Amino acid sequence: MSISTISQTDFRFAGQKNVYHGKVRDVYEFDGILVMVATDRISAFDVILPRPIPHKGQVLNQLAAYFLTASSNIVPNWLIATPDPNVSIGHLCKPFKVEVVVRDCLVGHAWREYTSGKRELCGVSMPDGMKQYDRFNSPIITPATKAEAGHDEDISANDVVSTGLATYEQWEEIADVALKLFAQAQQMAARRGLYLADTKYEFGTLDSTLHVIDEIHTPDSSRYFYGDSYNDFVIGKTTETPRHLSKEFVREWLLTEGFSGQPEQKVPQLSDEFIQNVSNRYIELYEVLTGEQFVPADYSKDPMERIKINIEQALINRKEK
């Protein structure tokens, strides 16, 4: 494809203490702050796919900032600034090593577990007789351990506390905040004609105060449907499955190609057409959710140099304050 993509960074900054290359983000650690570079890598089933997606990192970075700003009335978050379309700078918080997944309907991982015969997910009961895309009576929380490598593992709220991942009081606050964040995001999505089916959050503490960290409500961490498409299917008006506007369609395509992230499986070949389709969907979600036109970053010069210069200037500005 003709456009440049950002597959990985390997910067060395003054004062840098560490760097961590995650599935999508490259995280640079300094005294009290983190610099996160959202690359164009894409992962599915905890496997990084072999080809990056044009503009994906920019979409994720800008959408995360959009929702973190909107939700700051509910809970503080880690974000300080976004000095580049692909970069966020924020407070270094002490993370809870658990992902907080909020689900409003039976789809994705929950549906795959349900069809295998399970009627309990992370200690939460799921009634018999449910169909794919059916909504729960109210949103449920299904935590997962935050794995350093490999697959995250489901865990119950009781086990979160008993294994020391959080105290009872901390978990109660986390669960309460997660449901409030989810309710707000569902309202924001509904105003744009979308239905937010599920999402995941990560939390940490700064000076003993709970903060949201990482990204929220992006297509990598959330599952969106067009609202009319979802409602028409649920009420039986159509047999066409709800139209996704998230990364789930990538997972579904991989499953049809016989790939589910198992060690012995080989990632299927990703065509130019498929890559462009994924990129278009990320941009579409950004524009639908924000109501704003997506403006691609400047790729007339090396994007790595652009990112490096913008980070260095932001770090200088922080020292001068």
Predicted local confidence at residue 320, as pLDDT:
75
Helices (H), 71-167: 109-115, 157-162
Predicted local confidence at residue 318, as pLDDT:
86
Domain assignment present for residue 262? The answer is no
pLDDT tier for residue 246 given thresholds of 50, 70 and 90: confident
Domain assignment present for residue 47? The answer is yes
Q: Verify that 134 and 228 share a domain, yes or no.
A: yes
The residue range of the domain holding 37 is 18-93+271-320
Looking at every residue in the chain, the average pLDDT score rounds to 94
Q: Verify that 134 and 221 share a domain, yes or no.
A: yes
Domain assignment present for residue 5? The answer is no
Is the confidence at residue 150, as pLDDT, over 70?
no
pLDDT tier for residue 305 given thresholds of 50, 70 and 90: very high
- Find the mean pLDDT for residues 47-70: 96
Rounded to an integer, what distance in angstroms lies between the CA atom of residue 316 and that of residue 321? 9
Ramachandran bin of 193, using left for φ above 0, alpha for ψ from -120 to 50, beta for the remaining angles:
left
Domain count, the chain: 2
Q: Verify that 110 and 70 share a domain, yes or no.
A: no
Q: Verify that 45 and 113 share a domain, yes or no.
A: no
The answer, as to whether pTM is greater than 0.85, is yes
End-to-end CA distance of the chain: 42
Domain edge (last residue) among 191, 217, 250: 250
Q: Specify whether the CB–CB gap between 157 and 122 falls below 8 A.
A: yes
- Find the mean pLDDT for residues 264-278: 93
Domain assignment present for residue 3? The answer is no
pLDDT tier for residue 149 given thresholds of 50, 70 and 90: low
Rounded to an integer, what distance in angstroms lies between the CA atom of residue 84 and that of residue 87? 5
- Find the mean pLDDT for residues 203-221: 96
Residues 6+ away with beta carbon under 8 Å from 254: 44, 45, 260, 267, 268
Q: Verify that 119 and 103 share a domain, yes or no.
A: yes
